Every structure is written in structure tokens, then in C-alpha cells.
Structure 1
Amino acid sequence: MSDNTSPTRREVLRYGGAAGVVGLLAGCSGGGSGSATNADTQTAGDGDATDGTATDTDAASDTSAAESYSVSMSPMGEVTFESPPETVFTRLTHHADMAFALGRGDTVTAMHAPDYYSGLWNQFVERLPDVSLDWTGLYSSWEPSKEKLYELDNDVHLADPAWIAGQENWDREDFEEIATNVSPWFGNSLSDRHAEPAPGWQEGYQYYTLWEQFELVAEAFQEQARYEALAAIHDEMRSTIDANLPPESERPSAVMLAAADIEEIYAYTLDNPGFLTAHTRPFGARDAFEGSIETNTVVDFEALLEADPDVILYLGGFEPNTSLPGRREAFKSDPVGSEITAVQNDRFYPQGARYQGPILHLFQLEMTAKQLYPEQFGEWPTYTEGPYPEIPAEEQLFDRQRVADIINGEFEA
């Protein structure tokens, strides 16, 4: 924190943002902006990452401490940084994964359920040569306190104030205080399913695709070369997927489920807007419920049998403490659940997490392609436990070594 007697890299450089909006949400580590932009709401698909010519890795990362730079993201508006952030507060895993993808996984100091998601992410990281990740023991930030943010003293809060504002213990003045005295807010979470912002945050709130937001985060960290390299891999995957999808008449019906226990099963639709479905929407599988339920609805075996999906995608199926065989057996041993087509045909597949960043997204695109369309993209291996299964090199939809090299900063742009 500044003592207000001499400038520091966290001192406010300037304020900007939407006209008529009062606030310092862009904060101190990089200067300020208003609390929202007046940009039109965007609804582009998550596959619409922008292609571009990658720059030299060193040049993209080498920012003089004397040169500030600005990046704009809703709902903060324009945020000015004096230097790339070195410590990072996150709340949700899509932001933590973005930091990880940019070679900064070990700079994250906070996230929701860190032990759970560290275990889950490492099931995928295992397939990236010479890449490591450890989020265990971090501050669990689902309901962050202002006092804890002072204590953590991060260089950036990669989190959405319009999301956190839904908590009773936060108001606009609190966000402005943290932005002024600690560091700026720079994150967007309500693009998850194009959710409505909290009161006072709706005006000008902009929705981003996963890769649009990742590009802005990469700019904030001055890691444009890493973004461009990963975006090129994603774009190539999407081209392969789009070119090989079967006709709509030949596509299966599917549903995505999650359950802490089998007594309370949550169903999620596959094609609603937002980055939560960025790994399922591109495949155009038929909604087993045919629009009769909203996403995140509690269902029972009777409702699932009535929908009778050809494929069940089970969220959290890779988490080390979740028994996927146990979940499958619970369906098979139930007189109603056992009648579901997906259960009878052993098309009950694991998934990772909905709040995916770019790295998990690459894996989830590949696994979903194989789980839905094995004839087009290769069979999905039988999975019971352990890391993401080994896929023969000729059947992989992206190059693991290339992704690992990008994360480690050992690549040519």
C-alpha cells in the first residue's frame, strides 16, 4: 500500500472508463477506470477466438517498468498497469486457469475450493510434459473478505466485482477501496451463462467468450505471444471439429449432470450462451430435455428416463476423490436409472469442470468430441480413475508438447 508520500507501482496513474460513472475499480496496481463500459453486449460463440500474428515471446513479456499500458474489460472499464502483475487473486477457476496458461499458475494466491480444483486440474496437467501445478492450501475465496484482500496484497484481483457484489458484505465503496489501496479488479464471470449482474452493475455490462476474455487477461499480463500460440491451437481444433461433425439427424441426445450424492442430481443444458458450455455447444448434440428444463435444475431418475439421453456427461468425474465407477453403478443398480439408454449402452462419461479456462477447455473439447462422436474423432478410452487417459498420438486433437512448451515459455512464436 502507498504511504501517499511517494509514488509506487501501485499508485493510481489515471482514471477513465464510462462517462458519468464514478469509481476507482481499476485501482492502484495499475490505475483506474469507471465501474462499467458502455460497450454493446456481445453474444459471439466461444469458438470465435481472434487469429493474429504472434509476436516474439521475449518482446511480448518485456515491459519497461517506466512504461504503463492500459487494457479495457467490463465491468471495470479501462485499467492501467505500471507493470505485469506478479501475484494474482482469483475467485473462480476460469481465471486461475488463465493465469496458469500464461505461465503464472504458481502466482495465484486464492481461488474457490483450492484443494478440490488442484486435484482435478492435475488429472489433466499430468498429460502436459514437464508442467506442474499446485493450488493446495491457498485461501478459499468463494466469499472473500476485504480484510483478507489487504493481507494477501496481490498485484491484481482477477475476479468480477459484479459477481462478488451479490454478497451482502460487499458494496461499491468496498470495491473502490480495495482497488485504490491494494490493486485493481480485472475479471469477468457473468459471461459464464450471460447471467444478470447484481443491482447497480447492469448498465453496459459486456459478455465475452472464453477466448475473448483470455486475450484481455493476456494483455494485462503482457503475454500476448502465449495467447496467440494457444489461440492458434484452439482455432485448429475447432476447424477440425467443425469439418467432421455428422449431420444433425445423426447426432445423439445428451445431458450434462453433476451430483455430490446420487440423491440430488443437477442437470445442465449443453447449448445455452456462455463459456460454461464452450466445450459442448460446438458439437450440436440434441438436448435430451428438448428445452423443458433450465440449466442447473435438480432432476431424479424418473425425469432422466423420460428424457432418455443417448449420452450422459458427468461433471467432476475426473476429481480424484470422486468414484466414477460408483456413480455408474448407482445408475445401473437403480430399477429406473438402469433403463436410461446412456446407462444401458455404457455411454456415461466423465467431464472436468464448467468453469474452464483455456487449458482445461482444450482437453474438454477433445474428450467431448470422442464421447459424442467416436466414429469421427476416435474412441474415448474406458476411464475409471486416475489422470486423463493416454490418447494415441494419431488420435489426439491437439499437441500436448506444444501446449506444455507455451505454458513453460519455451516456444517460438
Structure 2
Amino acid sequence: MGDNDTRTTEAPTRRDYVKYGGAIVGGGLLAGCTSDVADDDGNGDEADESYSATLAPAGTVEFERPPESVLTVLPHHADMAVAAGRGDAVTSMLYNPEYNDTIWNTCLERLPGVSVDWADLPGTWDPDRELLYELDSDLHLADPAYMTNMPSWTRADIEEIGENVAPWFGNTLSSANKEPAGEWADDYEYYTLWEIFEQVATVFQAAERYEALKAVHGEMLATIEEKLPPEDERPSVAMIILIQGEDSMYTYALNGPGFLTAHTRPLGAHDVFADVKTESTVDYEALVEADPDVILCLAGMSEARHVTKTRERFRDDPVTESVTAVENDRIHTQGGRNQGPLMNLFQIEMTAKQLYPDIFGEWPTYTDGPYPEIPAGEQLFDRQRVADIINGDV
């Protein structure tokens, strides 16, 4: 995006190429760097003409070429950029980049030549508009409706930044098919994780990567579906996050709608807290009464919510020590909650092994370090194949 041309005639800026077709955050917007340097790194075909991608609530955004710098909020969109071979375009992240860097690299360690470098990205939760002006991104790869959940942001702010900096493009409330604020109700649609990824891949001109990764995902799901035991032989499960300093925990849906459960829903286990609203709190007594066969600990690879802390607390507490999952050492970690396609592949595999070790191979007891090394014959997807797709060998 830099302009080293010393001619006195001023070249058009990126914003000179942004055209608005009447919609607040969509309707025929043009986005992306307008440099005519050829894209020869295998990330997609160079677009001689503009192209478009469509995703509610932003609508249709038109691009002249893939954006070279994108702002993200949550890591599912950043994961999609990495999967599309454009991880270097993620230049800012508003939600806890250091935490997300740790969780994602724990899994990506198993993909040769693939990693993320998010820890030091600029960004802060609920930023003022000036930060987005300073970042001057080519695209805000974020859900504009979700942004207005932040105290400092209104739809008018979204419109201002979309007009003066770059368009918005993303979907977050499909995480659990959450209701948008009333002003967004007419613009919102819900998608699966892989439907969102398809449109993000379109933004980065990476349709071949999307199709190849979708095939890997589909093959794994087909293998799992074929081998799942009858419903009455499936385990009962609680998916939780312990609350520090209290004898209570947050509970999360196992089979509910949205991409947050895209790795557990296909496995069809019995959710012991299915009747409890997701993200609600329950106490230890409720866990004892539910008596799950397996406990899944969200973000259990992170320091603050590490799975070993949950194991120790439940084993050492006279109330919870008799829970079946505790007695049988079936307390397992999960990975990233706001998963993109890459985290989704790892989490489907890990959860299949955690719930059905006799069918899909045992999940090693996780204590620290990267995603455990799984014997080649017990892997549910080919690591090298996924890495090759990301790196352009489709």
C-alpha cells in the first residue's frame, strides 16, 4: 500500500476507489488495496476486474483485489484468513490477541509451516474511532452488529468508519444464533462456520483453498458419523468453565445452534445441562446431580483456565470428587471457543477422541505444551494435507 512514486501528480488513494451504493455497510462497496502489483504467491488468481462477496449484516462488498491489512475482533475471522493463506493480512485484533495467539499456536504446532503471530497485534476492546482511523485497514473483517454491542459504538459510528476508512465484513452472532440489536434485525442472517468461511475465502480470492479444506472437513465428519454408536450408548457430557474463587461454573451448550458447537454437535453426546441456558452459572451441587461421564473444559490450554486446575479443584473438593467424570479421569481440555475452520478441524478430532476413545483412539491426558502428537494411524485428518492447502499446494 505504500506509495514510493515521487511524481508530483498525486495518485488516487484507496478511499478514492471506495464507492457506496446506498447501504450503510454494504450495497456494492469497493475495498482492498488498489496496487497493480501481481499476486504471484499462490494465494489466488489476480482479479483483472472487481469481484464481490456477500455476508449479512454487511451485505455485499465489492473488491478490486484481496485486502492486504484487515482488522479483526474475534479469532474466528482471523483463523479464516490464515486458512485462506492470508494470515499476514491480519494486522490488528481487538479481543485479547495474546491469549488467542497462545491457543491457536498450541494447535497449529501440528501443521508444518503454519503458525500465527497475533500476540503483539494492536487493538483493544471497545476502542475509540481514532484507533480505527490510525490503523487504516483495507477491510474491517468483523461483524458490524457485534461491534455495536460495545459501549462506545453506535451504528452511526459503524457508518462513519465504513465510509471514511474501509468497509465491514463479518458475522459473529451466528456463534449461537444470538439475537442482534433491534436496529440490525432486518439485516441479519445466520450461517454455519463453513458458510462464513466460504465468503471470507472469496474476499481473499481463495476459493480453491476453501473447497479443499471443506473436503477434508467433510471426510472427517463422514468417518465420525459412520462410526458413532447408538444414542443410548453415548456419554453424558458437561462443557464448562470454572469460575475462579467460587464453587460454581459457566455451562455451555453441547448441541445448540451456531458455530460455537460446530465441533461437539456432530458427535451427538448427551448434554447434562441441555435445559440450562448456555453461558449460565451452576454450582457444584448441580454438577453432582447431573453426574456427567465426561467434563470438557473450554479454553483448557490457556493458563488462566487450564484443565489441570479444574482437575485438581474437582478431585480435592469433597462435593465433586464423586462425580463420574472426576472418578474416571475424564476431564478434558477444549481449544478455542470462537473457532474458525482450522481450530474446528482440531477440535472435532480431539472431542471425538475424548468422548469415544474406544472408537476413534484415546486422547492423551493433556497437561501442557502443544496439541498432543497423535499416532498417524489414529489421526482423523491429514496434517500435512491441511498445511499444504494453506500454503498453496491445493
With the length of structure 2 as denominator, give the TM-score of the two structures.
0.90
With 180-189 and 170-179 compared, the bigger mean Cα shift is at 170-179
- Residue equivalent to 1:345: 328
Structure 1: distance between partners of 2:255 and 2:319: 27
- Residue equivalent to 1:271: 255
The change in CA–CA distance for 1:298 and 1:321 in structure 2 (over 3 A counts) is: closer
- Aligned pair 1:139/2:140, yes or no? no
- Residue equivalent to 1:43: none
- Residue equivalent to 1:400: 383
Q: Which amino acid aligns with 2:253?
A: T
The one of 85, 103, 124 equivalent to 2:85 is 103
Contact 1:73 1:216 in 2 (8 A): yes
Structure 1 unaligned residues grouped into runs of 5+:
32-56
How far did residue 385 of structure 1 move? 0.9
Contact 1:251 1:286 in 2 (8 A): yes
| Aligned length, in residue pairs | 377
Structure 1: distance between partners of 2:124 and 2:27: 20
For residues 331-383 of structure 1, give each alpha carbon's deviation from its aligned partner in whole angstroms, at most 9, with x where no partner exists.
00101111111111111000012200000000000000000111111111121
- Residue equivalent to 2:65: 83
- Residue equivalent to 2:75: 93
Contact 2:294 2:325 in 1 (8 A): yes
How far did residue 26 of structure 1 move? 6.2
SS in 2 for 1:175: helix
- Residue equivalent to 1:30: 31
For residues 270-324 of structure 1, give each alpha carbon's deviation from its aligned partner in whole angstroms, at most 9, with x where no partner exists.
01110000000111111113x3311101111111011111110001111256543
Structure 2: distance between partners of 1:133 and 1:30: 24
Q: Which amino acid aligns with 2:143?
A: D
How far did residue 141 of structure 1 move? 3.8
Contact 2:272 2:290 in 1 (8 A): yes
Q: Which amino acid aligns with 1:286?
A: H
- Aligned pair 1:280/2:261, yes or no? no
SS in 2 for 1:70: strand
With the length of structure 1 as denominator, give the TM-score of the two structures.
0.86
Contact 1:310 1:341 in 2 (8 A): yes
- Residue equivalent to 1:361: 344
Q: Which amino acid aligns with 1:285?
A: A
Q: Which amino acid aligns with 1:102?
A: A
Structure 1: distance between partners of 2:293 and 2:14: 55
Contact 1:9 1:83 in 2 (8 A): no
Structure 2: distance between partners of 1:69 and 1:175: 23
How far did residue 198 of structure 1 move? 1.3
Equivalence map 1:213-292=2 (5 Å): 213-259=196-242, 261=244, 263=246, 264-289=248-273, 291-292=274-275
Q: What is the CA RMSD across the aligned residues, in angstroms? A: 2.1
Structure 2 unaligned residues grouped into runs of 5+:
2-9, 33-39
SS in 2 for 1:140: coil
- Residue equivalent to 2:294: 311
Contact 1:91 1:141 in 2 (8 A): no
Task: State, as a whole percentage, how many aligned pairs show the same letter.
Answer: 57
For residues 109-141 of structure 1, give each alpha carbon's deviation from its aligned partner in whole angstroms, at most 9, with x where no partner exists.
222101111011111111111222211111234
The change in CA–CA distance for 1:58 and 1:231 in structure 2 (over 3 A counts) is: farther
